[in-house]
Structure 1
């Protein structure tokens, strides 16, 4: 096996073999079973006549453990964490069946670094970079030893000798989130020409002086892309625990569809707007060199993934994905003085720049600018935000809003299909929208909403945008069709009642259709589940849904009450169920005769307007009244039905409550 300073230790391949870069993330390198998959992938690439260069992340969870090690070292409590990291790697060596001595030098240096941090009580960016790089260095030492036992001609390569940063950025940024210039590198091509199988680290690089730097969280994807660019690889493969990019997060929405093909701009937009499969910085080096990127699934290596390339089939203008990010912070800047003022935006955003804050999305008007900040790209502690507001105060009135989330509709030609998105956009009517931003690239339309509403909105939007679309050259199968699980977790499928009674339903259909069929046991189960809720004292069935007598008797037997809006519905309940049933009646502008008749049938009256109290107070005198309130905002609006607000005919508005109470007391 080659050494860090001699990456040409194995010379068993001819120089003409084209390079393919394979990157494996933390979950893909953390078990013997996964390494068997990796070994098979290497052999397949060799059989294709390719030269594989394997780029690895640290064992899953180890980078977090190294961060914790530094936190504990500052207070002199590093030994327990250090011991846990050592044991994790020794246990993995035992699982692989290799001698752990190959990683002892790295573990010993890690111990010295932690001790040094404890002695000075401080962690500098240089020290942090050296410690965090150990995860990848330790893993690849063990992996190289195991691959050799499998008869593979592997050469361990120190990524710090192959990737050198450009030195741009402030002190901390150029060490902890370093950038590396892309471009073909003939020297690296020559160095790799004698290597059959290369194995190196993601995330890790060096600066021009040779000191260790890191590429920031998610930097292993970027490492793979940079190496593919520099080596003029035929393709780059990112292996992870999902088979590709999806129309939404499949772990939260099992109906999400696999995206079979994307161009680089679309993939960049989806990754930037919140998808976790790829780091956004990895795409530019591949795009610039015209190198296709394949996303593959380590647990299911034969599964079709996502292909990202320059000539991906685009199809017509369409939304291809929904991306969501939580934890955003909004900064609103308003002043009348900005109207037609030259340089206001330059002055304001210079403050963000000086504080090292990267702005995410921006929305402007004549008197206000709102910008969103992503905490994954910024240090957004209270002190930083307070300083931001203080520095902005000379230019404007600045306000900070926490607890926001963005929802982005990503695809080609969004501006051209806004008219087709109208049903989807109506969903936002009942939610507070802080910011709307339409990308200049015409690749996304982004809404910033309250964080608590984002997940439900994504589910509803996905249903509207994708449920009716079939499989084509862009859209593949649903996550649940690929894995047969719900929300990304193992779950036993609940068989719907209509599948278990298929033959009976077909027999009913033969007798004539259309036919409305209800399953009694399912009705019983749904009612029982509602009545079991401790927060619900009474469950009412809306008569307008279905007044079938057998259904009403079944519901009454199960303990349901009944909600009505007409005299006919009340009479049906009394005829079928009897006088004992609790009936709630809401006379929405009913005539006096109907109200009198309903009250004579022993109903609980709900009033949703002032009219009965103003004109017939004697009818309600001495009665307990329920009041239907209009809070001003509704849910489930339709273009022709408004359940709340100024255009609604349902409910007593807040400004009418005092008058309602006055009239009720007088009656």
Structure 2
């Protein structure tokens, strides 16, 4: 390769060109490459948010509001120019004038054609690159501004795709190389996203097109390398917005990267891979805000040859279309007939599943799939088969090398599918993914669950690096919901509280009060009850009561403990929800006057005398399980809790015969639910059930408010929950709505402290032994729960050692955590297990005659 072709292409997204700080990073990287003898070719996007604003401009212009839409666009560029010490009105005079002219034309004709929209959208990249090139030149880094439309030519000239979603030729371009040799003695800066049609009009590469532009230019220049700079340091084993335990992937082959990008990973546009793969150009995905990190390398060589699961991804907005007909059996050419309408209407199929009498296909979310188009397609397909369309699904994919060889390893994780209705299962022909399609509201939970069970780093791992949270990042969707980890702020006090031998649970009452107040303060919730089975410590019960919550109990012993710990509570503030309890407990509860819930017919059938004059609540099984593990899904066909809907009528008759009044209905679906829409579904189910029950005044939505198992900070968005409750109350104003969370109130408030007793290393694993194990915390063994674990003694030291965290119990299941990234750990160090406030001490045992952890509060 000659020096003339010694090019490195750098692509920067909109979040990487938005400020002076970003441009300093770009300058440093470009100057470093130039000093190393490389020629630099920069491709970048419009400033963050500008493409969306330009996309909306056409509609605003049609509505006669062009000036109001234009001014924020101009002002954003003036702000960046001022930060870069540049004059936007001079540098961008042509683009500002063009935008005003185009918007005025649309306002006059009321016609926002694809041609005009492409012209408008292109201005974002043109304006941003004008500023970038001027600033780099002002810093002494010679930079030639290139109009990408003079180098990239659209391959199609159709009426819509030919303007808004084009492909371009990307063969090595000797003419472009010669031109740059002549015109650009230094670096080059150009636009992503835009190209030119053969008739001279502007065309767009579609959203994500800047990645593709960079790949096209790398191939046309026969570049040595392509660097994609974005807002995350490479590919991760899952979307970090879904789970902070997502791990950085150090290296991928082209086909693995293609699969990940196609299956929903938003780091890289799927069309980016093909041009560099054909040209054999190595690619790196890097982070502008973390330029010190190596990111993900993408090349022809896989990171390792052995079969290995690399990631779990989820795609939303998936649509399924199923064709059913007996005429398919042994009918040659049926699939050709079935697929022909898709081809004729330009609809791309993603997944395909067939049987003897049906075929199901999935369609990815695509703005071009309008309602009219889908209805036309459905009409055409109905000529050959019965058609069913299922909207709003999610595709969850296990992506890796040699997936077929890994199926046996997936066995323990397959129980996650037990209560998720699978709409389609597809194993990729290239052996790179196994995909299931589920209902849209199940996609995130399933993705997170499979990731935490199946992504297991190894010591000295060549595939995975640190997790998103271990490298100090905070997922965007999570940050708004996260509170600072209290145990970091109170580290010294916790170190002092850890016993020399044994273990200790420590509960932070400030956190308990905050969580309880968040529930008691919901504007649209009539009552909140704390499910004390999660943690019955007297100080916690008192703190919850002081915050304004009642107490939900599942045994008479809990009722007595609640009354003893918080004597200010009245019987009206205690909810008793027994399950298969003896007659005596029901009798005493009725005598005490607490709220009583019945979840079976037996008490009313066999002890009717108990209920004369009593008011009771019925617990109904909605037959739709929710939750993070089968052992906490308290609804569904296999659950022991609640009346089947078909039994409600009989329960009403039995209650009437006994002289009891049914004043409430109750549902509890499970634990670890983070989607507020779940409680909307429950509320609608209960209101429909209560329609013919005139005495019912209370609808108890249950509990199960989610706390993320992987780390702790993420929990359900209580603001979104309150909005949902408000909508329920508006729709069903005749009812009170109650909630009874447990884990949400106390999980994050508790930590388990124990000292390291021994460490051990084998050729295949490292182990850190603690002074306690499953006798103190059984959730990992029982539920497969994942708790955050840190070395509190060495909290600020670099984590570069992967180990399993185990206890002294004589059971192979005695693991508190597997494959955790830790600093080098020694005997006597204090280890902290997070999220230990719920179902920890209350489920502890004396197994092996070892004392479980004791308790303290701060």
TM-score tier by shorter-chain length is 0.7 to 0.9
| Worse overlay, 565-574 or 187-196 | 565-574
Q: CA deviation at 1:72?
A: 4.0
User: What's the counterpart of residue 343 of structure 2?
Assistant: 353
Q: CA deviation at 1:415?
A: 2.9
User: What's the counterpart of residue 601 of structure 2?
Assistant: 610
Equivalents in 2 of 1:383, 1:627: separation in Å? 46
1:50 aligns with 2:38: yes
1:473 to 434, 457, 462: 462
| Worse overlay, 647-656 or 486-495 | 486-495
Q: 1:595 to 1:83 in 2, by over 3 A?
A: closer
1:651 aligns with 2:642: yes
Structure 2 unaligned segments of length 5 or more: list them.
659-858
1:218 to 202, 208, 214: 208
2:5 and 2:222 in contact (8 A); partners too: no
2:277 to 270, 280, 287: 287
2:195 and 2:202 in contact (8 A); partners too: yes
Equivalents in 2 of 1:389, 1:303: separation in Å? 49
Q: 1:90 to 1:302 in 2, by over 3 A?
A: same
Q: CA deviation at 1:204?
A: 2.0
User: What's the counterpart of residue 143 of structure 1?
Assistant: 132
Deviations 1:237-291 (A, max 9, x none): 1112222222233345444322221111121122112222211101111111221
Matches for 1:446-457 after TM superposition, within 5 Å: 446-457=435-446
Q: Which SS does the other structure have where 1:481 is aligned?
A: coil
2:11 and 2:229 in contact (8 A); partners too: yes
1:384 aligns with 2:373: yes
Q: CA deviation at 1:475?
A: 1.7
Q: CA deviation at 1:604?
A: 4.8
Equivalents in 2 of 1:74, 1:553: separation in Å? 61
Q: 1:86 to 1:631 in 2, by over 3 A?
A: closer
User: What's the counterpart of residue 335 of structure 1?
Assistant: 325
Q: CA deviation at 1:654?
A: 1.1
Q: CA deviation at 1:235?
A: 0.4
Equivalents in 2 of 1:469, 1:54: separation in Å? 37
Equivalents in 1 of 2:459, 2:193: separation in Å? 39
User: What's the counterpart of residue 31 of structure 1?
Assistant: 19
User: What's the counterpart of residue 163 of structure 1?
Assistant: 152
Q: Which SS does the other structure have where 1:133 is aligned?
A: helix
Equivalents in 1 of 2:532, 2:579: separation in Å? 15
User: What's the counterpart of residue 251 of structure 2?
Assistant: 261
Q: Which SS does the other structure have where 2:621 is aligned?
A: coil
Equivalents in 1 of 2:64, 2:463: separation in Å? 54
Q: CA deviation at 1:493?
A: 5.8
Q: CA deviation at 1:538?
A: 4.5
| Worse overlay, 587-596 or 385-394 | 587-596
Equivalents in 2 of 1:286, 1:663: separation in Å? 73
Equivalents in 1 of 2:542, 2:81: separation in Å? 67
User: What's the counterpart of residue 66 of structure 1?
Assistant: 54
1:410 aligns with 2:399: yes
Q: 1:486 to 1:181 in 2, by over 3 A?
A: closer
Equivalents in 2 of 1:648, 1:431: separation in Å? 15
Matches for 1:516-665 after TM superposition, within 5 Å: 516-519=505-508, 522-534=511-523, 535=525, 537-543=527-533, 545=534, 563-565=552-554, 584-585=575-576, 588-590=579-581, 604-636=595-627, 643-665=634-656
Equivalents in 1 of 2:69, 2:592: separation in Å? 73
Deviations 1:577-606 (A, max 9, x none): 789656655554455566657666666543
Q: CA deviation at 1:523?
A: 4.5
1:253 and 1:487 in contact (8 A); partners too: no
| Worse overlay, 402-411 or 424-433 | 424-433
Q: Which SS does the other structure have where 2:160 is aligned?
A: helix
1:294 and 1:307 in contact (8 A); partners too: yes
Q: 1:665 to 1:258 in 2, by over 3 A?
A: same
1:437 aligns with 2:426: yes
1:365 to 351, 355, 359: 355
User: What's the counterpart of residue 842 of structure 2?
Assistant: none
1:498 and 1:505 in contact (8 A); partners too: no
1:163 and 1:205 in contact (8 A); partners too: yes
2:179 to 184, 187, 191: 191
TM-score, structure 1 as length reference: 0.86
Q: 1:604 to 1:335 in 2, by over 3 A?
A: same
Q: Which SS does the other structure have where 1:446 is aligned?
A: strand
Q: Which SS does the other structure have where 2:284 is aligned?
A: strand
| Worse overlay, 446-455 or 106-115 | 106-115
Size of the aligned set, in residue pairs, is 650
User: What's the counterpart of residue 499 of structure 2?
Assistant: 509
Deviations 1:7-55 (A, max 9, x none): xxxxxxx944511111122222233332232222211111111111111
Q: Which SS does the other structure have where 1:630 is aligned?
A: coil
1:254 and 1:488 in contact (8 A); partners too: no
Equivalents in 2 of 1:276, 1:649: separation in Å? 42
| Worse overlay, 392-401 or 47-56 | 392-401
TM-score, structure 2 as length reference: 0.68
1:19 aligns with 2:7: yes
2:395 and 2:438 in contact (8 A); partners too: yes
Q: 1:600 to 1:476 in 2, by over 3 A?
A: same
Q: 1:289 to 1:588 in 2, by over 3 A?
A: same
Equivalents in 2 of 1:637, 1:71: separation in Å? 43
Q: CA deviation at 1:524?
A: 4.8
1:320 to 302, 310, 317: 310
1:221 and 1:278 in contact (8 A); partners too: yes
Q: Which SS does the other structure have where 1:285 is aligned?
A: helix
Q: Which SS does the other structure have where 2:387 is aligned?
A: strand
User: What's the counterpart of residue 201 of structure 1?
Assistant: 191
Q: CA deviation at 1:305?
A: 1.5
2:168 to 173, 180, 202: 180
Q: CA deviation at 1:484?
A: 4.8
Q: Which SS does the other structure have where 2:642 is aligned?
A: coil
Equivalents in 1 of 2:219, 2:113: separation in Å? 32
Q: CA deviation at 1:639?
A: 5.7
1:430 and 1:637 in contact (8 A); partners too: no
Q: Which SS does the other structure have where 1:645 is aligned?
A: coil
2:170 and 2:216 in contact (8 A); partners too: yes
Q: CA deviation at 1:294?
A: 1.1
1:131 aligns with 2:120: yes
Equivalents in 1 of 2:497, 2:54: separation in Å? 65
Q: 1:558 to 1:158 in 2, by over 3 A?
A: closer
1:239 aligns with 2:229: yes
Equivalents in 2 of 1:311, 1:16: separation in Å? 27
Q: Which SS does the other structure have where 2:233 is aligned?
A: coil
Report the aligned-residue RMSD.
3.5
**Radius of gyration: which is bigger?**
1
Equivalents in 2 of 1:503, 1:295: separation in Å? 42
